[in-house]
Copies of this chain bind each other. A is one copy, B any other.
Amino acid sequence: MALLTEDARGVFVISVTPFHPDGSIDVESLDRVTDFYIEKGATGLTILGMMGEAPKLTQAESRAVAERVIARAGDLPVVVGVSAPGLAAITELSAAVMDMGAAGVMIAPPGGLRTDAQITGYYAQACAAAGDGVPVVVQDFPLATGVSMDVSVLNRIVADLPQVVMLKHEDWPGLPKITALRRAEAAGQRRISILCGNGGIFLPEEMGRGADGAMTGFAFPEMLRQVVDLCAAGDMDRAQDIFDAYLPLVRYEQQPGAGLAVRKYVLAKRGAIASAALRHPGALPAPETVAEVERLLARLDTRLKELD
């Protein structure tokens, strides 16, 4: 399969990992949700990320999931999260998934990093650990990792590490960072792909600032695709109309921790996975939550009809 490059754009959906109610991996749903994402417009997939409950899997399970999804995704590029506390584990998983045909790997910084030098030093080590020539996605998500990367740090990483071809952008607030990165490129720096996370909650503005698309797991990937395509085509108003229709649900699904149960509930309801189950410790949404989500889904339906 083709490797990830700086030219990547579109929508890389962060895939859930489907489980049976007993906590075992639901392999058939893994196929089904892969098909679902593709059908709804995904231009790539990202697996074994935080929202894929990756830390809950054993290494053997992680490899099995990767193998299944990569095979099923066919020509679609699949990025695999390989973040780990140690470099040896990154090397092991990265080598395995690249052999299976992954397009690249995604690495978030370990929580203890503080200074600029620690962060740039870490990415040099992590790129080496990922393997020579393996495309790397840098995940910049301070709310989850506790690590803050200044624009100058990202610029240094881009300058020093040719393997880094993409930024998964989910700093918050993060809009000025996109502008600053694109300005550095206009001044001669190597261009990288910027795909945005955070559930897509700033997607129109991010596209306006120069992002190349989305890398997030919202349960209606077709919205992400439409917004990205419309923005890319310059039709910002229509993009924002569609975005605004989904925004109440985007907001609800973006709640840290709690959002994943909602996402799986919606995906199960849409038939993409058989069960909304999270692996332990994780629970089905409470009845109050289900009622709120159902209300938002009904209103979404109405609003989309008005927009047609």
Contacts and interface: CB of A to CB of B under 8 A. Distances in A.
Interface of A: 55-59, 61, 85-89, 92, 111, 114-118, 121-122, 125, 142, 147-150, 152-153, 172-173, 175-176, 179, 201-202, 205, 208-209, 240, 243-244, 247-248, 251-252, 255-259, 279-281, 286, 288-289, 292, 299
A105 to B, nearest CB: 16
B115 A88 contact: no
B299 A240 contact: yes
Q: Chain A interface mostly helix, strand, loop or mixed?
A: helix
13 contacts: A57-B88, A58-B92, A115-B116, A115-B148, A122-B281, A125-B280, A176-B288, A179-B288, A201-B251, A240-B248, A247-B247, A247-B248, A251-B251
Nearest to A240: B299
Contacts of A288: 175-176, 179, 209
4 tightest CB-CB pairs across the interface, nearest first? A173-B255, A114-B148, A55-B85, A115-B150
Given A56-B88, A58-B88, A114-B142, 17 more contacts: A59-B59, A85-B85, A114-B148, A115-B116, A115-B150, A116-B150, A116-B152, A117-B152, A172-B255, A173-B257, A175-B292, A179-B288, A201-B251, A205-B292, A240-B299, A244-B244, A247-B247
Nearest to A179: B288
A64 to B, nearest CB: 12
Nearest to A241: B299
A148 B256 CA distance: 14
Query: Which of A88, A205, A248 has most B Cβ within 10 Å?
Result: A88
Contact of A55 (B86, B121, B172, B205): B86
A251 B252 CA distance: 12
A115 B149 contact: yes
